[in-house]
């Protein structure tokens, strides 16, 4: 296994990382990338064992509903790179069993790959979303045939791929990228039916980063995003060679969706758990700022907090039901129920903005205009901002300002915008969650109830 320090060294491998028009030689020296780099390194140190055969214990999948449930708290504390590594490896394990064509060879490659990933203690990110071009046209009908990642050449040793993968969290901080098709392909789209593992530093790979990291700002004014930022990557694959042993699907159009579906199983638990905790966090912030403002007994403030509590409880119920009705894969790994998870994600995503509005309504304009923590330090302004941000002898100005900064950072600044969009888009947008609900909802039961209450029998039809 690697220590945090060894991990940091391992990234100096010639990779092509870009940010705001510049090439980033060393992410440790790029202000907007330092915090996430350190967070991933800390994750290495946390699970490090000097034992030669040691493997990170978080990289195993739950074997029972109880284990699935017990895993949640630790899941909430993983750094994002470790979290997606877990999802990537689990995706491979499940996909291995689901592939119906040629599975012998691909299966063995997957087994080998997972074993060496464990052994090398690397971080692996999942790359799904393609550039996509015109959304209403199929891959093969695009003006640019590279709008979806595809095989453009072959050699005796492997394949050459071209295209781009978007919205890839933590790619520049990982070692490998698990490239997989974004969706089911049709006959004639064999070149797009490619899944493989690509080293981040492979020739032809370029990573263009964006981030909500508050670099160049007073970090205490961004108490959350300064800890939790993580670059999102636009991954460019310019005729990248992938050797056969790293290719897990190649040309089986009807199997193209297997990887994305397998990933979905593992992605969901984290996503829903996070939403549940986030809803509680918003309640907590609303209660704390109401108290700090002296508003905690005002009727309309209480009603808004009530609604936030009911919302948070509704999401938690969805998670509970999804865990209670957990399902097992054919090889005995447990994942939460898809109907409950998707319905919960839909509720969480559609009502997130409304809950944020309640929080803003309770907190007031100082969400935007609370002075910087640096103004508290400044002897010319410190006493005055402390005096006027305080609302009583028991609520200090600094404490209240920190609450405002936390609220702004979480909900009304770059990270807030990131949350709003990510809540909607993760797992494919609201429409995708509807499709999954439609697929898993027991419509036969509902129709039977309806016929029954209407007093109509099948024969009447």
Among positions 117-146, residues that touch its own copies (CB under 8 A) are: 129, 131-137, 142-144, 146
Residue 245 is a binding residue for its own copies (CB under 8 A): no
Q: Minimal distance in Å, beta carbon 369 to its own copies?
A: 4
Nearer CB in complex with its own copies: 98/440: 440
Return d(Cα 433, Cα 456) in angstroms, integer.
32
Q: Which of 16, 85, 255, 262 binds its own copies (CB under 8 A)?
A: 16
Q: Closer to its own copies at the Cβ: 120 or 438?
A: 438
In angstroms, what is the minimal distance from the CB of 452 to its own copies?
8
By CB under 8 A, which span of 101-109, 113-121, 179-187, 442-450 interacts with its own copies? Answer: 442-450
**227 part of the interface to its own copies, by CB under 8 A:** yes
Q: Which is nearer to its own copies, 114 or 174 (CB)?
A: 174
Which of 6, 103, 201, 390 binds its own copies (CB under 8 A)? It is: 390
Q: Which is nearer to its own copies, 68 or 312 (CB)?
A: 312
* DSSP-assigned letter for residue 285: H
| From 121, 318, 335, 336, residue interacting with its own copies (rule: CB under 8 A) | 318
Rule CB under 8 A: choose which of 84, 322, 326, 336 binds its own copies: 322
**21 makes contact with its own copies (CB under 8 A):** yes
Report the run of H or E that residue 8 belongs to, with start and end: helix 4-10
Of 330-359, which residues contact its own copies (CB under 8 A)? 339-340, 343-344, 346-347, 350, 353-354, 356-357
One of 302, 332, 334, 335 touching its own copies (CB under 8 A): 302
Q: Indicate which single residue of 188, 298, 327, 332 sits in contact with its own copies (rule: CB under 8 A).
A: 298
β-bridge partners, 161: 151, 240
Q: In the set 11, 208, 258, 269, which binds its own copies (CB under 8 A)?
A: 208
Residues 154-183 that bind its own copies (CB under 8 A): 163-164, 166-167
Closest separation between CB of residue 69 and its own copies, Å? 11
- Report the site for its own copies in 28-87 (rule: CB under 8 A): none
CB 406 within 8 A of CB 223: yes
In the complex, minimum distance from the CB of residue 41 to its own copies, in angstroms, rounded to a whole number? 20
Q: Which of 41, 84, 236, 260: binder of its own copies (CB under 8 A)?
A: 236
Q: How far is the CB of 29 from its own copies (least distance, A)?
A: 16
Contact between 448 and its own copies (CB under 8 A)? yes
Tell me, letter by letter, the H, E, C secondary structure of the chain.
CCCHHHHHHHCCCCCCEEECCEECCCHHHCHHHHHHHHHHHHHHHHHCCCCCCCCCHHHCCCCCHHHHHHHHHHHCCCCHHHHHHHHHHHHHHHHHHHCCCCHHHHHHHHHHHHHHHHHHCCCEEEECCECCCCCCCCHHHCCCHHHCCEEEEEECCEEEEEEEEEEEECHHHCCEEEECCCCCCCCCCHHHCEEEEEECCCCCEEEEEECCCCCCCCHHHCCCHHHHCCCEEEEEEEEEEEEHHHEEEECCHHHCCHHHHHHHHHHHHHHHHHHHHHHHHHHHHHHHHHHHHCCCCCHHHHHHHHHHHHHHHHHHHHHHHHHHCCEECCCCCEECCHHHHHHHHHHHHHHHHHHHHHHHHHHCCHHHHCCCHHHHHCCCCHHHHHHHHCCECCECHHHHHHHHHHHHHHHCCHHHHHHHHHHHHCCCHHHHHHHHHHHHCCHHHHHHHHHHHHCCCHHHC
Binding residues for its own copies, how many (CB under 8 A)? 155
Of residues 265-294, those binding its own copies (CB under 8 A): 277, 280-285, 287-288, 293-294
For its own copies, which is the closer residue by CB, 117 or 424? 424
By CB under 8 A, residue 391 contacts its own copies: yes
- Residue closest to 128 by CA, chosen among 425, 424, 349: 425
Tokens 């052994």, located at residue: 119
Of the candidate residues 51, 57, 104, 297, the single one contacting its own copies (CB under 8 A): 297
Asked if 320 is part of the footprint of its own copies (rule: CB under 8 A), the reply reads yes
Closest to its own copies by CB, 46 or 220: 220
Least distance in angstroms from the C-beta of 220 to its own copies: 9
């Amino acid at each position: 296994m690697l220590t945090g320090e060894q991990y940091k060294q391992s990234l100096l491998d010639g990779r092509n990382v870009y940010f705001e028009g510049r090439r980033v030689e060393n992410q440790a020296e790029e202000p907007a990338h330092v915090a996430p780099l350190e967070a991933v390194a800390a994750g290495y140190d946390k699970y490090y064992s000097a034992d030669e055969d040691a493997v990170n214990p978080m990289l195993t999948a739950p074997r029972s509903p109880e284990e699935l449930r017990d895993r949640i708290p630790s899941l909430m504390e993983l750094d994002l790179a470790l979290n997606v590594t877990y999802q990537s490896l689990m995706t491979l394990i499940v996909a291995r069993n689901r592939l119906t064509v040629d599975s012998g060879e691909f299966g063995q490659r997957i087994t080998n790959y997972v074993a060496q990933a464990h052994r090398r203690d690397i971080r692996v990110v999942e790359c799904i979303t393609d550039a996509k071009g015109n959304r209403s046209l199929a891959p093969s009908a695009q003006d640019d045939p590279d709008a979806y990642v595809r095989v453009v050449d072959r050699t005796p040793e492997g394949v050459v791929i071209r295209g781009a993968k978007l919205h890839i969290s933590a790619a520049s901080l990982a070692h490998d990228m698990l490239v997989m098709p974004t969706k089911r392909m049709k006959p004639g789209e064999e070149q797009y039916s490619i899944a493989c593992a690509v080293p981040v530093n492979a020739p032809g790979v370029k990573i263009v980063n964006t981030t909500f990291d508050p670099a160049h700002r007073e970090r205490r004014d961004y108490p959350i995003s300064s800890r939790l930022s993580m670059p999102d990557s636009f991954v460019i694959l310019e005729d990248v060679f992938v050797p056969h042993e790293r290719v897990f699907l190649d040309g089986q159009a009807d199997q193209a969706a297997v990887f994305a579906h397998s990933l979905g199983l593992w992605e969901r638990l984290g996503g829903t758990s996070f939403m549940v905790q986030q809803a509680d966090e918003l309640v907590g912030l609303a209660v704390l700022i109401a108290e700090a403002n002296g508003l905690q007994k005002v009727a309309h403030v209480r009603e808004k907090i009530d609604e936030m509590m009911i919302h948070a409880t509704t999401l938690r119920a969805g998670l509970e039901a999804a865990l209670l009705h957990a399902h097992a894969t054919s090889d005995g790994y447990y994942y939460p129920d898809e109907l409950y998870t998707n319905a919960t994600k839909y509720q969480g995503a559609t009502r997130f903005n409304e809950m944020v509005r309640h929080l803003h309504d309770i907190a007031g304009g100082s969400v935007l205009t609370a002075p910087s923590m640096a103004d508290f330090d400044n002897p010319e302004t410190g006493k005055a901002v402390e005096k006027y941000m305080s609302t009583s002898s028991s609520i200090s100005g600094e404490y209240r300002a920190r609450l405002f900064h936390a609220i702004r950072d979480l909900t009304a600044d770059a990270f807030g915008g990131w949350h709003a969009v990510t809540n909607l888009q993760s797992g494919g947008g609201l429409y995708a969650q509807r499709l999954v609900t439609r697929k898993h909802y027991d419509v036969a039961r509902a129709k039977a109830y309806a016929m029954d209450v209407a007093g109509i029998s099948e024969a009447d039809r």
